[in-house]
Amino acid sequence: MKVKVIPQKVVVITGGTSGIGAEIVKLYKDMGHIVCALSKDVLDDIPKNNAVKYFTCDVTNEIQVKNCIELIGAKYKKIDVVINCAGYGLAGALELTPTLDAKKQFDTNFFGGYLINKYAIKFMPKNSTIVHIASACALFALPFRGMYCASKSAIDMYSKCLSMELASSKINVISICPGDVKTNFSKNRVKVYETNERYGTNIEKSLKKVEANQEKRMEPVFVAKKIVKFASKKHPRSMYIIGAKYKFLYFLSKIVPQKIMLKFTNRMFGK
């Protein structure tokens, strides 16, 4: 009986030292692939092994991104899979959000993936794959998380546009939209509690409501397995949603008038 041999791939994962990214790193490592985990801060206590190469790389710094990707490309001569998992959370009233925080949101969630892809594509052969970890927030407008929703919606649309541009090169491009995941992401989210008479206590109440459901969220390993599964497909769809509740809400958004949908999601996730 012949044993099917899976070709070893070179996999680049941003945000690879925590949360979903760290779980994806483990899965690809266990599959026997060469894993290049990128993170803004690579901790000294992370176990080092031959299968995983850790790189300090701030995805908002174009020079660091270019140097890091060029180094990987020169060493391995190819990049088969890119998973853009680095993310940054920001919450608060849009009117009162500091401009620098708003720009940082897009620098990480949107331009971070854009820069990684910009320098990785030339090393990617046919049938390689680019994955963007967007969010269910890319699909639904939510109160007091507007800047985060906008950044994830932007990377989702960019992903779809890139998939068309790279179709003739046979490079797959996927946007994956998970719902809430049980990680420290919500805890580490930058929260702007500044308010005025227009919002009162609604900002604080809304954010506390979101964080109260931590135990009901999906396990990161479950989400990571789904991401690796989608990234391994020969002919993947352009977008996947992870989480039954969010699949239902997305279906609902296609058949319910937008005005009603906005009221519904505002009641669920807002004040």
Q: Which sequence positions are flagged as catalytic?
A: 135, 148, 152
**Count of Cβ atoms closer than 10 Å to residue 6 Cβ:** 10
The token duo for 128 is: 């390689």
Name, in order, each residue with C-beta under 8 angstroms of 10's C-beta and a sequence gap of 6 or more.
Answer: 33, 34, 36, 72, 76, 78, 79, 80, 81
CA-nearest of 216, 240, 220 to 27 is 220
Backbone angles phi, psi at 97, to 5 degrees: -75, 125
Place of tokens 């990680």: 183
Cα–Cα distances (Å) from 17 to 61, 142, 177, in that order, read 18, 28, 20
Contact criterion met (CB below 8 Å) for 41 and 16:
no
How far is 262 from 260, CA to CA, in rounded Å? 5
The CA angle 135-139-143, to the nearest 5 degrees, is: 90
Assign residue 243 a region (left: φ > 0; alpha: ψ between -120 and 50; beta: otherwise). Answer: left
